[in-house]
Amino acid sequence: MSSICSQGHANPPGSRFCCYCGERLSDPHELLNTALGNRYRLIRELGKGGFGRTYLAEDLHRFNEYCVLKEYAPQVEGQQALQKAQELFEREAGVLYKLQHPQIPQFRELFRASQGDRDRLFFVQDYIDGQTYRQLLQARQLQGLLFNEFEVTQLLAQLLPVLDYIHHAGVIHRDISPDNIMLRFTDQKPVLIDFGGVKELAAKVAAAQHPYAMPDLTRIGKLGYAPAEQMEEGKVYAHSDLYALAATAVVLLCGREPQEWLLTGRPIWQDWVNISPSFQAILTKMMAPHPLDRYQSATAVMQALGVPKHEAASSPSPVIQTLPPPSALTDPPTQATVPVSPVLPIGTENHQETASLAPPSSASPARSSTPQRGWGCLQWAIALALLIPVSAWGGAWLMRTFFLPQPNVEDQQELDSSSKLPQDEQQRKAAIQSRREALGIDYDFLVGLTNQRFYETYPDQKGRTLTDQSEDAEWRDRWDAIASEGLDTLETNLSADARARLGNYTPADQESWKTRVNQLYVGSRSLNDLTDARFFYLFPDQSGNAFIDQPIGQIWRGLALDQVVALEAGETLEEIRLEPGTFRAERSHTLEPGGGRVYIAYLSEGQILRINVQDAPDTALLSIYLPRPTLQTPALLEDSTQGTWSGRLPQTGYYELVITTSDSQAVTYQLDLAIDNVSREQIQPQTTDEAKPNKK
C-alpha cells in the first residue's frame, strides 16, 4: 500500500487507512493495466523511491511504445497545493525538456491524471530496453568474473561526452552509479538514467509547500559515489559527476563498494584492481578528496585518456554479456557470429579477462587516414579464435578486408599489388568505393547494410568467414552486387541530405520530425504512413520484420526525413477548406509507386463526414486520424482498402486523411469529401494547442 495519502500524510508501510485523516490508501497494483488519461497503460511497477513509484507503461498514442512513468508523491495538502506543485515543476524543469542526446532518456512531459478521487502527477520519459551495470556486474560475479580495463575505459570514453553535453547545458547528474547507467540492448551503448535534477526539483517543491523546513539536498547521491562536499553540504559541480563516474569504474573493476575503502583514508582500491599505472592515475585524480585536485571537466578526462572528443562520441561499444531481458518484453534478435578485430583505446594496455571486442556502432567511428595493409600471424590467430556475437552491423571487419577498399586511400586508382584478388575484382571494388564517396554515403553504413542484405539473401553463409581465395570468388561477386544494388536504391530514392546522415539517425531525430510536422497540423502517424509506403515499396521483404534498429532501418529514417521536407514544402500535404455555402470537396491526384498524400481539414464535433476514394486499386490504403486520439477511438479508419467511411465526428479540430500505395504502378484516385450540418459561416481554425494534433 502507498504510505502517503492525498493530503500528504506519511503513514507506516502496510497501512490501509491514513493514520491522520482516515483516508483509504490506494494500492499501487490498482493502477496496473489501467490507462491513465486514456494515454498511458501501466504494465508493471519498476521500483519505488523516496519521491514515489516508477512504472513501465505503454503510450497508447505512439503505437503502444514503452515509456517510463515516475509518480511524484509530494508531501502537499490538497488539490490546490498539487496544482502549485505542478506549476513549479513545469517552470523549473525547462532544462530537462531541452536535453536531446541519444544516451539520455528523453524527458517527454509532466503528466497529471485523475484516478478515482485523487489526482496524480507523473514524469514521463523514454524507456530504455537494457540492463543496469549493477545487474551486469552481479551476473559476472556469479561466474567469478569482473570488468576489465579495456571495457571500463571504453565505458568512460562513451559516457564522458554525455557528461560534457549536460554540463555545458548547466545540468549536473548528481547520482551516477552502476544502478543509474544502463547498457542498451539495441546498440550496446551506455545510457545515463535517473537524473538527480528531478529529485532536486521535488525537494524544491517540498520546500515551497513548507517554507520553514530546510530542503534536504544532501541526500541526492549515493554514499561513496558522491564526493564528500555533495553529501555533506549539497554542493555539486561538474567534477562531482566525474568523481562518481570514477567510483563507478572502480566498482566495476574490483567488485567492491566504495564504503569498503572510504574508512581507510587512502585509495586502498588500488590494491584490488589490475590496471595500467596511467589509467590508475586518471581514476585517482578523478576521485581526489579535494575538489581543486580533480579534473574540472569531462573534456580534461578525455584528453588524459588520449581519446579525442570527436572520437569519444562515436567510439565503438564493447560487446558485453547481458542477462536476458524481462520476460514481458521482446528479446533482442538472434545475432550472427563472425570474427572482428580487437581495438585498444589509445594510451592503455590490454588487460582483458574476457573476450570483449568492439564491433562498429551505429555512429561512424573515427578512422585513420592511413589504410591498414595487413595483420601479423598472431593477430590473425587471435581474430579467428575469438568469435563473439554481433548484430547485422557486425561482420564488417571481414567485409572491409575482402570486399571494399578502405576509404581515404591516396590515389585509389592504383591497385594493391599485395592483394590476392584479381585485378578486375579490385577495379570493381574501387568503382564501388568511388561511387559511395560521390554519393556521400558513410563507409561503415554501406558495409553494414550490405552485410545485412547479404545474410538475409544467403542465410547459410552466416558465421562463415569468407577468404580472398578463388573458391570464394563467387560469394565476393554476390556481395559486391548487393552493395551496388544498395547504392542504386540510395541514389534514386533519397536526397543528398538524407544520404549524408545514414548511419547516424537516432530516435531523437524522429522526435524532432514529429515536432516539425505537428506545426503543420499533421501527426506522426501520417508521417509514418507516408514513410512506410515508400519503404515497403522498396523493401517488401521487410514487412513484418523488426528492422528499425538494423542498418536498413537507417534508410527508413532517411525516407522519413525526406517526407518531412516534402510535407513542409506542400508537395504531399493539402488543406481542404469548405467555402461558405459549400458542403463537398473533390480532389484528384496521381501517386507514384510507393507514394502517399495527406489531406487535413478543420471540422467540428457533431458534423457528419462522408469520405469516398474512387478509382483506386486495392493496393491503396486510406487512414483517417482524429485531432486527439483516445483509447476507445485511436483512429476513425486505419490502413483500410475499402476507401469509404461515414459517421458523426467526435471532436473538433484538424482531421487527417492519408492515402498511400505500395503498388509498383502509379495510382490515380479521386477523393470525395462531404459534410452535413455545416455552418454557413466559414470555420476558422483555432490557434490554441487544443487544435493541434495530439498524436504520437
The reply to whether 180 and 163 lie within a common domain is yes
Higher pLDDT, 419 or 351: 419
Alpha-carbon radius of gyration of the chain: 28
Q: Cα angle at 145 between 141 and 146, to 5 degrees?
A: 85
395 versus 493: the higher-pLDDT residue is 493
Q: Which three cell numbers stand for residue 489?
A: 536504391
* Same domain membership, residue 215 and residue 184: yes
Q: What is the Cα–Cα distance from 465 to 470, expressed in whole angstroms?
A: 14
**121 and 144 inside one domain:** no
Q: Based on the fold, state whether residues 215 and 291 are members of the same structural domain.
A: yes
The pLDDT tens digits of the residues spanning 287-321 come to 999 999 999 999 999 999 987 655 444 444 454 54
Cα four-point dihedral sign 239, 240, 244, 245: negative
pLDDT at 388 over 70: no
The DSSP letter of residue 63 is T
Residues 114 and 142 reside in one and the same domain: no
Instruction: Please compute, for residue 45, the number of CA atoms within 13 A of its CA located in the half-sphere on the CB side.
Output: 14
Mean of pLDDT values over 102-111: 86
pLDDT tens-place string over residues 207-243: 555 544 444 444 577 888 999 888 888 888 999 999 9
For residue 411, pLDDT beyond 50: no
Report if residue 278 sits inside a domain.
yes
- What pLDDT, in 10s, does the model give residues 145-189? 999 999 999 999 999 999 999 999 888 999 999 999 999 987 889
Contact 183, 130 (CB under 8 A): yes
Q: Kindly report, residue by residue over 572-611, the tens digit of the pLDDT.
A: 999 999 887 788 999 999 999 999 999 999 999 999 999 9
State yes or no: pLDDT of 374 exceeds 50.
no
Contact of 99 with 29, CB cutoff 8 Å: no
C-alpha torsion sign, points 309, 313, 319, 321 = positive
Task: Please check the confidence at residue 406 and state whether its pLDDT lies above 60.
Answer: no
d(CA 314, CA 318): 12
Contact in structure between 318 and 179 (CB atoms under 8 Å): no
Nearest Cα neighbor of 351 from 299, 277, 452, 415 is: 277
pLDDT-derived band at 281 (thresholds 50, 70, 90) equals very high
Give the residue numbers marked as catalytic: 175
Shared domain check, 283 and 154:
yes
Say yes or no to pLDDT of 327 above 70. Answer: no
The H helix count followed by the E strand count for the chain is 20, 20
Residue 617: predicted pLDDT: 76
Q: Are residues 378 and 470 in the same domain?
A: yes
With 60 as the cut, is the pLDDT of residue 443 above it? yes
* DSSP string covering 347-414: T-----SS-------SSPPP--SSPP----HHHHHHHHH-EEE--TT--HHHHHHHTSPPSS-SSTTS
Range from 32-41, 338-347, 657-666 that averages highest in pLDDT: 657-666
**293 shares its domain with 193:** yes
On whether both 160 and 193 belong to a single domain, the answer is: yes
pTM, to two decimals: 0.48
Query: How many other C-beta atoms lie within 10 A of the C-beta of residue 493?
Result: 18
Q: Do 279 and 145 fall within a single domain?
A: yes
Where does residue 365 rank: exposed (0-12), middle (13-18), buried (19+ CB within 10 A)? middle
**pLDDT exceeds cutoff 60 at 65:** yes
Please check whether residues 119 and 150 belong to one and the same domain: no
Is the pLDDT confidence value at 4 over 70? no
Residue 322 lies in a domain: no
What does the pLDDT look like over 531-580, one tens digit per residue? 999 999 999 988 888 888 889 999 999 999 999 999 999 999 999 998 87
pLDDT of 306: 86
Q: What is the CATH number of the domain that holds 650?
A: 2.60.120.380
Q: Is residue 543 part of a domain?
A: no
Domain assignment present for residue 600? The answer is yes
Q: Position of cell 561499444?
A: 317
Q: What residues pair up with 656 in beta bridges, in sequence order?
A: 600, 625
C-alpha 675/C-alpha 648 separation (Å) is 10
Coil vs helix vs strand at 484: helix
pLDDT at 194 (0 to 100): 84
| 178: DSSP letter | G
Pairwise CA distance, residues 88 & 203, whole Å: 11
User: CA-CA distance, 224 to 334, in Å (whole number)?
Assistant: 39
Q: Is residue 539 part of a domain?
A: no
Q: Give pLDDT, residue 332.
A: 33
Confidence of residue 619 (pLDDT cuts 50, 70, 90): confident
CATH number at residue 92: 3.30.200.20
Domain residues for the domain of 656 are 573-691
Residues 259 and 153 grouped into a single domain = yes
CA–CA distances in Å: residue 143 to residues 136, 138, 290, 315 = 11, 9, 37, 28
* Predicted pLDDT of residue 151: 93
In this predicted structure, the answer to whether residue 323 has a pLDDT above a threshold of 60 is: no
